[in-house]
Structure 1
Amino acid sequence: MRVGIVGAGISGLVTAWLVDGRCDAVVLEARSRVGGNARSVAGWAAGVPGAFDLGTQEVAADDSGPHAALLAALGVDGRHVVDVPSSHTFTAGGTTAPLLVDDHPGRPAHVGRGPLRERVRAFLDGMGPTPDRDVPFGAVLAPLSPAPAVRDHVLCALPASLFGCPVAEVPRLSAPVVLAYLHGVADDTAPRVRVLRGGMESLAWALAAQLTSTEIRTDAEVDRVEPARDGYVLVDAAGRRCAVDQVVLAVPPPTAVRLLPASVPGPAVPLRRFTSRPVRYALHLDPAYLPGDRALWSTHNVVAHDGWAETSTWCGPSHGVDVFKSQITHRAPPRRVLATSTFQALTPTTDVVDAQRELAAWQGREGLHFAGHHTTGPGDQDSAIASAVAVARRIAPGSTRLRSLPAP
């Protein structure tokens, strides 16, 4: 069986890796390089070489999750990863004194934790069991009635920055998704996250390097998917045609809608319910958005301003140098910019949860499959990998590589 995979992001490449050897596959990628939202920039800062991530940059330091299982299957071990504290400093725009400062290794004992720390901790401790994905975060906020500063500058600011939405929209997001990212904020010890020393894009290269029966074509944007007698034909922008038996659309929802063959119009309905916003990032050398006092710096520094919230990630904990990755969608760029890029951030509202269920009912029909973090979860790497596992189980259930990854 020949499988056509559109998109060489992590979900497309993991799908190819899982069916490789059981099927002949071809991966068509519009860009000139693989990786999708995993985009890394190699550089040398303060005498230290490193690969700095513009897009996806970290995963939970959880050895039981899909990402950890994939790294182990690819032979990535402790030499290639570093665990760092996921600490946060929250500040309101126009002020200099942080409102909340998380614990961070090496932070001087005299540094305060900010006026909102105890109130944020009381809110998170006062919650009951994690609600269902259909419950909006606003339903969690309402009965506990946190102070506006707690709500807007911390509880809603962090997810607003992660998903690129206005702070006022966060109450519409799925409550479990929001709470997953608030986990550990204001704790006595910051949780740990895992960073690849070679950058997240190196994971895409590792997957591609292990493919044997799969062809990868970059600079091959798919223009349309045509129904054929025994499957489909993928036609790229240059007019080249590729006949396949089954198709995996491992692309963002708007692209998937555009490529849907006329014979399978149904999935367009749920795909159009997914919403996203552009979020622009910059790698830079000046600490433009961090507190003036270095003792207050955290791994993630969140500033709420003008109805939005944006984060600046300090690479010191992971790379040992003062390089910063900052969101600059709604604020002036820093002075010493090394690279920039723009990504589409999924807005995980409860409507998106419904759309995911509706799309799941179309998976595999007429030999058409959908992969990507939007199909299975909140928009992280584990969601993307889990989506690929689900697709591969339908296409090549006998794949031995499936045994190395947890079932979705």
Structure 2
Amino acid sequence: MRIAVIGAGTAGLTAAWLLTPDHDVTVHEGAPRPGGAVRTHTLDTERGPVSLDLGAQHLSPGDFTAHRALRRLVGIGEDDEMTVPLTMTVTAAGATAPLLVTPDAARDAEAGRTPVTGPAWERIAAFLAATAQVGPLGPGATVAEAAVAAGVGEEVLDRILLPWLASYSGCRVAEAAAMPARYAAAWALRTPPARPEDAALWTNVTGGLHTLTARLSDALGDRLRLSDPVTEVSAGGPGGSAPLTVRTTAGTAHEYDRVVVATPAKEAARILATDPVLAERAVLLRRLPYEPVTVALHRDPRYMPAHRRHWSAVNIHAHDGRGETTFWFSTAGVPDVFKSWITHREQPVDVLRVERFDHLVLTADADATRRKLHGLRLSPHLRLAGSYLYDIDSQESAVRSALQAVEEIDASGSRTARLRAAVRTEATS
């Protein structure tokens, strides 16, 4: 079959890579480079080049089984990865001391860190324990409801818990309070520390996540068309069926038997809006709320805690009804370099690079909209893929969405079968 994949982020590249051995695939990407939310910066240092991710970065070693299976299939092994202890500090505007510094018993003494825990840390742990169990509140319980049930208390909720959870998407703390707790706290729940006094251990790709997207892109060769924005997709057959016509800003029109739209939701809505059958899906896609986020890679430590003994990998500053993060690349083997959310903060000095993203805000309404999208079959020959469609809007959900879309097109494909088998193996290893 002739198949178009629109978008060359992780989801689009994965879908195209899975389909290429068995079908005639073309990838249309509007940007001049592939990768989507993967933005890897190469920093020249005395030790040689170091890769730092401005966008997607952290991979759960236990939970991201589809992403790990894909990495292994394209030749990215354990030797190409490193373990990153994700400690966390929470500070607040106007406060001289940190509100929370999580422990890392195995490394704190050597690093000169001083944890700040006490009752606040115990209440955060109680919230996570309550959220991990469905319990009487049910799976739709909000953060605010779960916090009350766990006895978190208003001060810890308002000053620590909500800024921390809001920092994941860049939303306001009021929005974080109304999120389903199982999604808002998922990043902490999926990869917990071995003991309360330990740090959670996550995985980073040593060469940056660009390592994966580059290998997928290289495998596609001239099937990948960069700087080729799509303006619309229309269906020529009854009920939204093939042939499907893809039109680009260059004025070209291409007919395909199948189309996978693997762009962010807002872009997918724009592409589908002009077709009378596909437009119903566009209406739902527009309902998904996004928060614009600006991220800077820099050497200026202005957002870090006042004393180095309180520095963590993840440093959250609560201010003006928000929580914004600074990630310290302490394990990268370079002098102090930071990645900071600066959407609502003054830009630092000594900036190396600035990137802009749109983060999905997983409200209860957004979750309901996603369920409607999954149940909507307007076209038998068009599929959506993207991290926004499943779970917590991660690199794992990007790969899973691509695998799902491809299996609905051709479940017997050679690479599809290999990836599905590899996912099963990773899940049981």
TM-score where L is the length of structure 1: 0.93
Aligned-residue offset at 1:151: 0.8
Number of positions where the alignment pairs a residue of Structure 1 with one of Structure 2: 407
Aligned match of 1:217: 225
Deviation digits for residues 129-174 of structure 1 (CA, Å, limit 9, x no counterpart): 1465533222212333422231123222222111111011112212
Match of 2:419 among 369, 386, 404: 404
Q: Is the 8 A contact 2:6 2:28 kept in 1?
A: yes
* CA shift in 2, pair 1:256/1:63, >3 Å: closer
Aligned match of 2:15: 15
Aligned-residue offset at 1:86: 1.2
Q: Which moved more, 1:14-23 or 1:177-186?
A: 177-186
Percent identity reads 32
Q: For residues 273 and 137 of structure 1, what CA distance do their matches in structure 2 show?
A: 21
Unaligned 5+ runs, structure 2: none
Q: Is the 8 A contact 2:175 2:363 kept in 1?
A: no
Aligned match of 1:234: 246
Aligned match of 1:331: 345
Aligned-residue offset at 1:47: 4.1
* CA shift in 2, pair 1:379/1:319, >3 Å: farther
Match of 2:305 among 273, 291, 296: 291
1:139 matched to 2:148? The reply is no
* CA shift in 2, pair 1:274/1:308, >3 Å: same
- Superposed structure 1 runs of 4+ greater than 6 Å apart: none
Secondary structure, aligned partner of 2:348: coil
Q: For residues 155 and 344 of structure 2, what CA distance do their matches in structure 1 show?
A: 20
Q: Is the 8 A contact 1:46 1:321 kept in 2?
A: no
Q: Is the 8 A contact 1:136 1:349 kept in 2?
A: no
Match of 2:215 among 206, 230, 249: 206
Match of 1:245 among 257, 273, 281: 257
Secondary structure, aligned partner of 2:44: strand
Unaligned 5+ runs, structure 1: none
Q: Which residue identity does 1:351 align to in structure 2? A: D
Aligned match of 1:308: 322
Q: Is the 8 A contact 2:315 2:326 kept in 1?
A: yes
1:107 matched to 2:101? The reply is no
Q: Which moved more, 1:75-84 or 1:176-185?
A: 176-185
Q: For residues 301 and 22 of structure 1, what CA distance do their matches in structure 2 show?
A: 47
Secondary structure, aligned partner of 1:163: coil
Q: Is the 8 A contact 2:259 2:383 kept in 1?
A: yes
Q: For residues 405 and 108 of structure 2, what CA distance do their matches in structure 1 show?
A: 45
1:371 matched to 2:372? The reply is no
Aligned-residue offset at 1:97: 1.2
Q: Which moved more, 1:144-153 or 1:302-311?
A: 144-153
Deviation digits for residues 226-282 of structure 1 (CA, Å, limit 9, x no counterpart): 333541121111112222111111111221111112332221232122110101100
Q: For residues 110 and 338 of structure 1, what CA distance do their matches in structure 2 show?
A: 27
Aligned match of 1:154: 160
Match of 1:196 among 196, 199, 205: 205
* CA shift in 2, pair 1:153/1:46, >3 Å: farther
TM-score where L is the length of structure 2: 0.89
* CA shift in 2, pair 1:3/1:326, >3 Å: same
Match of 1:174 among 180, 183, 186: 180
